Amino acid sequence: MHLEIVSPEATLYVGEASSVTVPGIDGDFQMLDNHAPIVSLLEKGSVKIKGATIGEKAKKHFKAGKEANEYTLQINSGTLEAKDNKVILLAD
């Protein structure tokens, strides 16, 4: 799926990912390829991305996970929209 993570300061990531796990207001949930359309508010927690290639400039925002091409990003809150195999995450 195509993933974009945007903060008020910068675009943190634009590229492909095989899965994204986010801290929804009712608990964590995961999105895979061709996820059903969804709009959700996010709360403070970790965004976990698998199957992504993070560029050198963006690595200062992400923490590498246990597996290759796995990263986490800490957010305070945000909004997420998934539609047509594209996920846009607006993070604070």
Overall average pLDDT of the 62-81 stretch: 93
| pLDDT tens sequence across 19-67 | 999 999 999 999 999 999 999 999 999 999 999 888 887 888 899 988 8
- Looking up residue 9, the CATH number of its domain turns out to be 2.60.15.10
Does residue 43 lie in a domain region? yes
| Total domains, the chain | 1
Overall average pLDDT of the 61-83 stretch: 93
The range of the structural domain enclosing residue 78 comes to: 2-87
Does residue 92 lie in a domain region? no
**84 CB neighbour count, 10 Å cutoff:** 8
Does residue 62 lie in a domain region? yes
CA end-to-end span of the chain: 22
Q: Which uninterrupted H or E stretch holds 26?
A: none
